[in-house]
Amino acid sequence: MSENNSNQPSRPGPKMYDIIILGASGFTGKYVLREALKFLNAPNSHLKSLALAGRSPSRLTYALKWAAGPNPPPKIPHLTADTSDPNSLSRLAAQAKIILNCVGPFRLYGQPVVSACVDSGCDYLDICGEPDFMERMEALYHKKAVEKGSLVISACGFDSVPAEIGLLHHSKQWAGPSAPNRVDAYLSLESDKKIVGNFGTYESAVLGVANAHELMELRKSKPKPARPAIPGPPPPKGSIIDHHNQLGLWALKLPSADSTVVRRTLSTLTENPHGLPGANETPENLKNREAFWSSVKPAYFGVKLGSKSLLGLFPAIMLGIFIGLLCKFAIGRWLLLKFPSFFSLGWFRKNGPTEVEVASATFKMSFVGHGFSDADMALKGNNKKPDVELITRVMGPEIGYAATPVILIQCALVVLASRGDLPRGGVLTPGIVFGPTDLQERLQANGISFDFVSKSTI
């Protein structure tokens, strides 16, 4: 079923769809669609109406058939939209409460979608893991999004919800006068098959590194973000590779989007110590929100890729070297994008992982916090060496096409169920918006666990 092929922009009208998935025909998009179908008109679900959007109705039809299988595909409208056609995006935004954007690389295709959503006051969530896109959208659209009542929340996938909600969960385990100074998230990916990512993620990473200077320039042009008060001095840089005995992992420091997203969350929290008020929140929500944020203890945060053997880090090191060297030259970028399997030592493929490979993989993110048994003493400078190590863990299914769809759909369901409790609008991080909601419980109910592991004196 194809609709909306006229070139005229539509006038704002009643929202016909709770959710429109843009890019539902993509590798990740079709898994997002499969996850959404589980909740469409399910008992107690706020998802009552869904539409798919993309450039090609036939590819959307194919994705719907795949996502619904082995059941026959339900009747779901297909809307034609192309990010190079602003009118097509305005029509989508006029009809949807929320647009879920799965069209990437976001640095190439994301801005017109954000712009259309902000103009029409529609909410926007995506699965972006590109710091430059997220920070550029914040600089360009935050003020207008607040005025228009449009929530724009990037990184609602594996990047960066496990890190954001995982760090908030970790922070709450530091009871009484104790507080963390630094938390390192050790990410390990496990499977008895091959661990593979789709080309879309690889392309986004290559383009991100190739244009890293743009992010530096953007950051220089903005006022410095507010810094949270963290007990103790900034941790030393440390080595690029280390070994954690209790976890039994070798670990490589990752230049992860997660750290930049967490930093933005903590900066917003520093400016708004009780979080952001809901658009139309109940007194009960206000009380819960203030109680939630007052128990969060900020920390320096970094991400490391973990592996049981030193050799297991080899593909990541080689990929980093290849991308670092070749990204600087046009021919190098062409080679990287032409031969993803070769340069990533098989980690990324043009046609992505098989369904069996997706189903076989899991992730573990261990949050190792070092901090103080008495944070007041540390703030006064009396006790500068962390004396406590606290470990928590987030675990779940394969990151890109199993965990990411679960996370994106649960974020969208929170928005549908509790819109009045969430900020009126703005370009915001998942942590600051979803931290005080029931997102963590929803993720737990859908296969992503949050656990306390241990606390010890060091």
Ligand X SMILES: NC(=O)c1ccc[n+]([C@@H]2O[C@H](COP(=O)([O-])OP(=O)(O)OC[C@H]3O[C@@H](n4cnc5c(N)ncnc54)[C@H](OP(=O)(O)O)[C@@H]3O)[C@@H](O)[C@H]2O)c1
Residues that bind ligand X (CB under 6 A): 23, 25-29, 54-56, 59, 82-84, 102-106, 109, 127, 129, 157-159, 198, 200-201, 204, 400, 404
- Most distant pair of Cα atoms in the chain: their distance: 69
Contact criterion met (CB below 8 Å) for 198 and 30: no
Question: For residues 45 and 56, which CB has a smaller minimum distance to ligand X in the complex?
Answer: 56
Shortest CB 378 distance to ligand X, Å: 35
Shortest CB 195 distance to ligand X, Å: 14
Contact criterion met (CB below 8 Å) for 41 and 47: yes
Shortest CB 356 distance to ligand X, Å: 18
Least Cα distance to 415 among 149, 164, 43, 166 occurs for 149
CA distances to 34, 178, 223, 248, 266 from 272, in Å: 37, 22, 17, 39, 10
Q: What is the C-alpha separation between 298 and 180, in angstroms, rounded?
A: 7
Question: For residues 103 and 296, which CB has a smaller minimum distance to ligand X in the complex?
Answer: 103
Question: For residues 207 and 375, which CB has a smaller minimum distance to ligand X in the complex?
Answer: 207
Question: For residues 27 and 141, which CB has a smaller minimum distance to ligand X in the complex?
Answer: 27
Shortest CB 417 distance to ligand X, Å: 22
End-to-end CA distance of the chain: give it in Å, rounded: 63
Question: For residues 113 and 266, which CB has a smaller minimum distance to ligand X in the complex?
Answer: 113
Question: For residues 132 and 159, which CB has a smaller minimum distance to ligand X in the complex?
Answer: 159
Q: What is the C-alpha separation between 8 and 350, in angstroms, rounded?
A: 36
**Nearest position to ligand X, beta carbon:** 104
Least Cα distance to 77 among 130, 38, 24 occurs for 24
Question: For residues 105 and 302, which CB has a smaller minimum distance to ligand X in the complex?
Answer: 105
Shortest CB 100 distance to ligand X, Å: 11
Question: For residues 159 and 374, which CB has a smaller minimum distance to ligand X in the complex?
Answer: 159
Shortest CB 413 distance to ligand X, Å: 18
**Contacts of 33 by beta carbon, 8 Å cutoff, 6+ apart:** 21, 24, 52, 63, 64, 67
Shortest CB 386 distance to ligand X, Å: 31
> Dihedral of CA 320/191/435/15: which sign?
positive
Question: For residues 400 and 426, which CB has a smaller minimum distance to ligand X in the complex?
Answer: 400
Shortest CB 420 distance to ligand X, Å: 27
Q: Residue 301: how many CB atoms within 10 A of its CB?
A: 26
Shortest CB 337 distance to ligand X, Å: 12
DSSP assignment letter at 401 = I
**Contacts of 260 by beta carbon, 8 Å cutoff, 6+ apart:** 131, 134, 135
300: part of which helix (H) or strand (E)? Answer: strand 300-307
Question: For residues 82 and 242, which CB has a smaller minimum distance to ligand X in the complex?
Answer: 82
Q: What is the C-alpha separation between 21 and 401, in angstroms, rounded?
A: 15
CA distances to 177, 373, 391 from 383, in Å: 13, 10, 21
Shortest CB 227 distance to ligand X, Å: 26
Least Cα distance to 164 among 434, 401, 438 occurs for 434
